[in-house]
Amino acid sequence: MQLKLNIRFFIALCLSISLQPVQAQSVIYQWRLAMSWPEGTPMLHNAAARFARNVETLSGGRFSIIVDAPGRHKAPLDILGMVRSGAYEMGHSASYYYKGKDPATTFFTTTPFGMTPTEMNAWYYYGGGLELLNKVYARHNVVAFPAGNTHIQMGGWFRKEIKSIQDLKGLKIRIPGHAGDVVGRAGMKPVSIPPGELYTALERGTIDAVEWAGPANDIKMGFHKIAPFYYTGWHEPGAELHVFINKQKFDALPDDLKAIIAVAAKEVSFDILSESFYRNVLAWEEMKQHSNILIRTLPDDVLELFKKANEDLLDEVAAKSPLAKEVINSQREFLNKAKDWTTITDADYLRLR
């Protein structure tokens, strides 16, 4: 009798051990991801599509993700809202599009005069950035991962040359995030326009200038045909995109799929940084052939004005939102230390190369 019970127990134990993973692995997940980006945009749509492909491949086909462009979901600047409510399980967007909802989200994309991609990655993965990102997004019922660094961005396209602080007055520019507030403080009029409508807005004169990304993305958007002055960047030194995931949906996933999502996003972040750099090298070479594209850097006094406004506004945001203060202080503290090392390595090496 005792032997029979033991055998039954042994068989039951074996079955439970062998069946549990099989049951977990037999569940097929089919999720939808809403992205902010127009269909076919290099480095942006690519990032979302690559993330979806990574997850499907790494999960051996157990987890498939359909990527929807704004043409389908109609809300390119409210990806966070759709993921928060569960209308979409996932999204791919820029965190700083949501600064109106929560100022603490702003600086996870980038901070003007802030960290370079190398510094940003060090902060995210080792300097507490990832933990802060998820502390902020937990309040929005979302789990977030960095998923696509676009490298140092260009300052944008202007119809008229900026020769002095006076030229900023009343100039309407599309520029999101904290940089939008900075130029606003300096006399410009920052506006928010969905990515798919930027060309028309610039062409019709609804705006006088537009910042978008870098040469590869910008040339595809065609801005150079209508605004010849192309300015170097100050505002987005290492802009990072993100994957958003509805928190309940994420928490209910098996641990291996959670890990696959984290790995898939990290691979995309690195890959987009590499792709952005590569494509911008080639696009820059092509741009230099266009005699009608006039490369400029903003005058020193304009940049000093922006720097001062940037610091003042960071202090003001920090005073209003304790969580934004935590993010701003964490970035400031790390950047203050990192600057010395970047100067003696990157800057010194570039000087002697």
Q: Which residues bind Ca ion (CB under 5 A)?
A: 153, 236
Return the number of the residue (208 or 236) whose C-beta is nearest Ca ion. 236
Return the number of the residue (141 or 153) whose C-beta is nearest Ca ion. 153
Query: What minimum distance in Å lies between the beta carbon of 335 and Ca ion?
Result: 20
DSSP β-bridge partners for residue 296: 231
Return the number of the residue (119 or 236) whose C-beta is nearest Ca ion. 236
Q: Which residues contact 233 (CB under 8 A, 6 or more apart)?
A: 152, 153, 154, 155
Please count the CA atoms within 13 angstroms of the CA of 69 that sit on its side-chain side: 13
Query: What minimum distance in Å lies between the beta carbon of 212 and Ca ion?
Result: 6
Query: What minimum distance in Å lies between the beta carbon of 26 and Ca ion?
Result: 43
Query: What minimum distance in Å lies between the beta carbon of 214 and Ca ion?
Result: 8
Pairwise CA distance, residues 206 & 200, whole Å: 8
Q: In degrees rounded to 5, what are phi and psi of residue 217?
A: -70, -40
Query: What minimum distance in Å lies between the beta carbon of 302 and Ca ion?
Result: 18
Query: What minimum distance in Å lies between the beta carbon of 177 and Ca ion?
Result: 8
Return the number of the residue (236 or 240) whose C-beta is nearest Ca ion. 236
Return the number of the residue (227 or 260) whose C-beta is nearest Ca ion. 227
Provide the 3-class DSSP secondary structure of residue 8: helix
Of the candidates 186, 195, 194, the one whose C-alpha atom is nearest the C-alpha of residue 217 is 195
Pairwise CA distance, residues 262 & 2, whole Å: 48
Return the number of the residue (154 or 265) whose C-beta is nearest Ca ion. 154
Cα dist. 72→66, 142, 186, 278 in Å?
12, 22, 37, 30
Start-to-end Cα distance in the chain: 83
